[in-house]
Structure 1
Amino acid sequence: MIASMEYVEILDHSEELGKMILHSDVMESYENSRKALQEDKKAQQLIKAFIDIKDQYEDVQRFGRYHPDYNQIMKAVRSTKREMDMNDKVAAFKIAERNLQKLLDEISQLVAISASEQIKAPKDGAALSDGGCGCGSGSGGCGCQAS
């Protein structure tokens, strides 16, 4: 019975922590920048152009330098990404995204350490595995090879 009461108490505290995060200034900034990004037609065009060229990049990567369009696609990927990253709405969103990730990482660290020093938690936006790049691209998949 004690274990179930402790479990209920932990759930209550975690729910309270979740509400605090959802109502934080960091989350509000993230939501505002995400909404502004979604409503900006120019930013959405730049993101779509980057996703389209990234698909071509992935096709080229299968053959590497031996692909006839390798140099052209590599230049196009870099210039399209640079143009997208220079957009004010995209840049503001990436900053807000990094700030939210930092807050969540700090909370994860505190929760993990409070349970045991041996528990691993995400740090600096990186995945727990050593293979994580931590690029923070926010594109739904890691695009660090393309950057």
Structure 2
Amino acid sequence: MFMTYEWSLITDSADELSEMIIQSEQAKKYQEAYSSVYNNKDLAKRINDFARLKEQYEEVQRFGKYHPDYHKVMKQIRIDKRSLDLNEHVAVLRLAENELQDLIDQVSFIIGRSVSEAVKIPSSNPFFSSDSSCGGSCGTGGGCSCSA
């Protein structure tokens, strides 16, 4: 495939858009929160330990309650997950991650809709999902029996 002028313009625009996302307030908050979590040696170790425990959890799940470590691993993963969930730095990181994901979902939605209304747009936010049953034509919800 040869690089045409149109493709060159598209790649330049994509580079410009990605740079705008990287420079966004949401991306900066995410980078700061990420650094706050992973520059904390104790917290980073706890996260790595939890990742290893998740591997054990997956192994235990294969055999269910018949695995000899089932109860121990199930209890420990709940305790460790709750501990991480309640950590202030982890909570800030998750919030920043969700905000950045919302920005990316919005951009994807705009790009997808500029191509065609029929383009399926994967999204973590149901507002931007293109799989609605009413097809977006009822406007008020309920007129087409959708659950708005």
Please report the TM-score for the alignment, with normalisation by the length of structure 2.
0.77
Name the residue aligned to 1:140.
Answer: none
| Distance in 1 between residues matched to 2:54 and 2:10, nearest whole Å | 43
**What's the RMSD between the two structures over aligned residues?**
2.1
Where relative contact order (Cα < 8 A, 6+ residues apart) is larger, the structure is 1
Mean alpha-carbon deviation: is it higher for 9-18 or for 31-40? 9-18
Question: In the alignment, does 2:81 pair up with 1:81?
Answer: yes
Cα offset for 1:112? Answer: 0.5
Alignment deviations for residues 24-78 of structure 1 (CA, whole Å, 9 cap, x no partner): 1111101111111111123112212211221221221121111122122111111
What is the percentage of aligned positions where both structures have the same residue? 38
Residues 125 and 34 of structure 1, relative CA distance in 2, 3 Å threshold? farther
Name the residue aligned to 1:59.
Answer: 59
| Distance in 1 between residues matched to 2:4 and 2:23, nearest whole Å | 29
| Distance in 2 between residues matched to 1:68 and 1:125, nearest whole Å | 39
Aligned residues: 126
3-state DSSP class of the match of 1:68? coil
Cα offset for 1:125? Answer: 5.8
| Distance in 2 between residues matched to 1:96 and 1:32, nearest whole Å | 9
User: Structure 2: which amino acid aligns with 1:119?
Assistant: V
| Distance in 2 between residues matched to 1:10 and 1:41, nearest whole Å | 42
Maintained 8 Å contact 1:33/1:92: yes
Matches within 5 A, 1:1-147: 4-124=4-124
Maintained 8 Å contact 1:46/1:83: no
Please report the TM-score for the alignment, with normalisation by the length of structure 1.
0.77
3-state DSSP class of the match of 2:120? coil
| Distance in 2 between residues matched to 1:73 and 1:95, nearest whole Å | 28
Q: 5+ residue gaps in structure 1?
A: 131-147
Which structure has the greater CA radius of gyration? 2
| Distance in 2 between residues matched to 1:16 and 1:22, nearest whole Å | 10
Cα offset for 1:4? Answer: 2.5
